[in-house]
Every structure is written in C-alpha cells, then in structure tokens.
Amino acid sequence: MAVAVYPHSYIPNLCVAEAQACLDAISLAKDLLFRNIIIEGDSFIVIKKLQSSSNDMSLIGMIISHVNSLSKFFEGVTFNFINRACNKVAHKTALLGRNSTSISIWVEEAPTVIEAVAQKDRQWVDPLD
C-alpha cells in the first residue's frame, strides 16, 4: 500500500536499524489511517521482541516500546518474521534509502526498481509447499 524511505544517521547496528524501520512503518501506517496492518521484518530478534509483552531493557527497548504504544491506534497489528530471501523489497528499499537525504513516501505506487523487485517477490513459491 505504501513505500517510504527515511534517512537516518547514527544508527549503531543492524538490529537498531530494523527496529527503527518498524517504527517508521507503523508511524506511516498511523498517518495514513490504516486500521489493520502487518509488519514484516527479517530481523528475528526485533520481531520476537515486538511480539512479546515483556519489558525490554535492551538497546532497542525504547524503540520497541514506542512501536507497541503506536500499535494501540490500530484494530489489528501483526508482526511477522520473514526471511530476506522472501522479501527483497525491504532490502532494496533500504538500499534506496541509504542514498536519500530526505524522506520519500509513495502511496499506492513505488519507484520502478522497487516495483520490479515486488513483482519477483509475489512470484516466489515456497519450496516446502
């Protein structure tokens, strides 16, 4: 439904980057007045922390707490771990964001390079099915 890139600086590690991406995604969904959302990420640690109701005192704990507080604005929120091989759109979007100096948001469309990768993701077939 939407694609966005948010340039961030001073992100200390990939885990923090993944948590920040979840916060950016849920904030955008709230701004767009979505009611039910699914956030997929390829960081098992971040997704498990988002699915847990425990008090998180880790480096990403404040971000997780903020995501969980924003979750209350939705009728339904689901956090799913998805292997990077199954979701190359997120990776390609992150690469696009690396070179960005400003926030870019596309609603019901995406940059051509993202559209091409999304089409391939939609065609992916789980070999276990």
Q: Which residues make Cβ contacts (< 8 Å) with residue 55, sequence separation at least 6?
A: 61
Tens digit of each residue's pLDDT (9 = 90 or more) over 65-114: 999 999 999 999 999 998 877 777 777 777 777 777 888 888 888 878 88
Residue 20 lies in a domain: yes
pTM: 0.82
**Residue 43: domain span:** 2-123
The number of folded domains in the chain is 1
Q: Quick check: helix, strand or coil at residue 4?
A: strand
DSSP state of 101: S
Residue 128 lies in a domain: no
Domain of 26, CATH number, reads 3.30.420.10
Q: Provide the terminal-to-terminal Cα distance of the chain, rounded to the nearest Å.
A: 27
Tens digit of each residue's pLDDT (9 = 90 or more) over 37-68: 999 888 899 999 999 877 778 889 999 999 99
